[in-house]
């Protein structure tokens, strides 16, 4: 090796440094070194997907569906998604309102990076799923609104409105939410969407858990916004049909917005996986008992987890209405990362520290009940005595 020459590495876009390493990885890496760990950390359904969807995937491959699909997505799939949302939310959508993406993540990534300009602000309601960091990568500024476990992480819409100003370009919604499982009432979403529309602020609504509704009512931003011109709703099949690995999602917006995002999409992934699109079409066309049964099962687990959290020393819980998470808080000032790591090492229960989801929730722990009832019971049998011994 020539040690005399100066070797210069890549000069990355400085925005890259805004993306943190997720504490979820740190927890998982530590857990992987151990032999006896009960996970309350999993962020995807633990149930096997509907067999007819898997068969449709195989059939698509046998039929030779391995070529590029149209860049905005398979027309029949775009139509099926438009029809489904139109029926479910009493809105009028057609195929041109839908763009097929690589999961909800890509739809969110595109919406955020297309909307954010350096120095412009994006409102995020914390705790929030990690995708909001894309704002900082794109040079935007986060306006963080804090919600807490003691009122079930509900947000006061007036606080969101008060955070809007001339520099605000977008706001993020996520109901039901990860990490909280919180569903916002219709009035909250309506008030926020109306105020955003009046000010020309984009509402980017992550509705990836929109079918995991444990307690009705659930209102999609599609029903609450005055029009689609400043709304983008993102979702996917990852949670609804337990198909996270197929990486298929969509963005829904006005036709003009979809054309703009379609141009961007061409430069990211050209088009989405062709056999997957056939499988997802089958998922939408088939009977939906899988989803109904999944909701019944998660509701049963949620009810038990709420009881167990209430019986656990130092935790302040609440009853989440959707998804498969609850995020109880520890006393103010307690470091959730330290607690999660010690609990993992000392009694083998893996949770996710609240600080993963924003600056203001560092004293919380995200618990996922996307695991068997046996695992849930086993985890709390370890957690309850261990937390009881802590003097915070």
Report if residue 238 touches ligand PLP, rule: CB under 6 A.
Answer: yes
Residue 172: CB minimum distance to ligand PLP, A? 10
Selected binder of ligand PLP within 105, 134, 135, 219 (CB under 6 A): 105
- Nearest Cα neighbor of 351 from 320, 330, 327 is 327
Minimum CB distance to ligand PLP, residue 177 (Å): 7
Size of the site for ligand PLP (CB under 6 A): 13
| 104 touches ligand PLP by CB under 6 A | yes
Distance in angstroms (rounded) separating the CA atoms of residues 358 and 120: 19
Q: What is the closest distance, in whole angstroms, from the C-beta atom of residue 125 to ligand PLP in the complex?
A: 12
Least gap, CB of 207 to ligand PLP (angstroms): 9
The alpha helices in the chain, defined as continuous H runs, are: 23-32, 51-62, 75-89, 103-115, 133-137, 157-163, 186-199, 221-224, 255-266, 274-285, 289-310, 336-347, 373-388
**Residues in 291-320 at the binding interface with ligand PLP, rule: CB under 6 A:** none
Q: Return the closest-CA partner of residue 97 out of 277, 322, 262.
A: 262
Instruction: Rule CB under 6 A: say whether 378 interacts with ligand PLP.
Output: no
* CB of residue 112 to ligand PLP, shortest distance in Å: 12
Which segment (87-95, 102-110, 119-127, 370-378) binds ligand PLP by CB under 6 A?
102-110
Stretch that binds ligand PLP, among 98-106, 286-294, 338-346, 379-387 (CB under 6 A): 98-106
43 binds ligand PLP (CB under 6 A): yes
Pick between residue 191 and residue 356 the one whose CB is nearest to ligand PLP: 356
Contacts 24+ apart (CB under 8 A), 333-338: 333/363, 334/363, 334/392, 335/362, 335/363, 336/361, 336/362, 336/363, 336/364, 336/365, 337/23, 337/362
Which ranges constitute the DSSP H helices of 116-215?
133-137, 157-163, 186-199
174 lies in the site for ligand PLP, by CB under 6 A? yes
Q: Please choose, out of 101-109, 147-155, 332-340, 356-364, the segment that lies near ligand PLP by the rule CB under 6 A.
A: 101-109
Closer of 247 and 386 to ligand PLP (Cβ): 247
Strands 249-252, 231-236: parallel, antiparallel or unpaired by DSSP? antiparallel
Residues 53-69: b if buried by 16+ CB within 10 A, e if exposed:
beebbeebeeeebeeeb
Residue 129 binding ligand PLP, by CB under 6 A: yes
Residue nearest to ligand PLP (CB): 103
Give the number of other Cβ atoms within 10 Å of residue 114's Cβ: 18
220 interacts with ligand PLP by CB under 6 A? no
CB of 325 to ligand PLP, least distance (A): 8
Reading the block at residue 336, the tokens are: 């959730």
241 is a site residue for ligand PLP (CB under 6 A): no
By beta-carbon proximity to ligand PLP, the closer residue of 244 and 360 is 244
Nearer to ligand PLP, 128 or 387 (CB): 128
To the nearest 10 degrees (0 to 180), the angle between helices 23-32 and 336-347 is 10
Distance CA 336, CA 24 (A): 12
Question: Looking up tokens 């309506």, which residue turns up?
Answer: 190
Answer yes or no whether residue 277 interacts with ligand PLP by CB under 6 A.
no
Burial class (CB in 10 A: 0-12, 13-18, 19+), 296: exposed
**Which CB sits closer to ligand PLP, 43 or 362?**
43
**Which positions lie near ligand PLP, rule CB under 6 A?**
43, 103-105, 129, 174, 178, 206, 208, 236, 238, 244, 249
């Amino acid at each position: 090796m020539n040690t005399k020459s100066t070797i210069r590495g890549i000069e990355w876009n400085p925005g890259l440094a805004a993306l943190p390493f997720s504490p979820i990885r740190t927890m998982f890496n530590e857990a992987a070194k151990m032999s006896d760990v009960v996970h309350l950390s999993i962020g995807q359904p633990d149930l096997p997907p509907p067999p007819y969807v898997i068969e449709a995937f195989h059939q698509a491959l046998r039929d030779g569906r391995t070529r590029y699909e149209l860049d905005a997505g398979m027309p029949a799939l775009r139509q099926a998604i438009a029809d489904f949302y139109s029926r479910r939310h009493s809105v009028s959508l057609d195929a041109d309102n839908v763009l097929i993406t690589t999961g909800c993540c890509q739809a969110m990534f595109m919406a955020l990076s297309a909307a954010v300009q350096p120095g412009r602000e994006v409102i995020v309601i914390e705790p929030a799923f990690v995708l909001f960091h894309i704002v900082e990568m794109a040079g935007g500024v986060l306006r963080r609104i804090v919600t807490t476990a003691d009122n079930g992480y509900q947000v006061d819409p007036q606080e969101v409105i008060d955070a809007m100003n001339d520099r605000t370009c977008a706001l993020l919604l996520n109901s039901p939410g990860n990490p909280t499982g919180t569903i916002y009432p219709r009035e909250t979403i309506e008030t926020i969407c109306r105020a955003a529309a009046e000010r020309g602020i984009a509402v980017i609504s992550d509705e990836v858990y929109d079918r995991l509704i444990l307690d009705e009512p659930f209102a999609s931003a599609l029903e609450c916004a005055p029009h689609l011109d400043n709304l983008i709703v993102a979702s996917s099949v990852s949670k609804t049909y337990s198909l996270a690995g197929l990486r298929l999602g969509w963005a829904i917006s006005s036709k003009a917005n979809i054309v703009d995002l379609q141009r961007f999409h061409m430069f990211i992934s050209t088009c989405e996986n062709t056999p997957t699109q056939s499988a997802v079409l089958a998922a939408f066309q088939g009977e939906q008992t899988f989803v109904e049964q999944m909701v019944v099962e998660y509701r049963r687990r949620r009810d038990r987890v709420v009881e167990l959290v209430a019986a656990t020393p130092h935790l302040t819980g609440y009853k989440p209405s959707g998804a498969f998470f609850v995020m109880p808080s520890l006393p103010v000032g307690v470091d959730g990362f330290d607690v999660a790591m010690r609990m993992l090492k000392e009694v083998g229960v893996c949770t996710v520290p609240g600080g993963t989801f924003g600056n203001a929730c560092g004293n919380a722990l995200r618990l996922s009940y996307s695991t068997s009832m046996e695992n849930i019971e086993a985890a709390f049998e370890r957690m309850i005595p261990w937390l009881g011994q802590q003097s915070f």
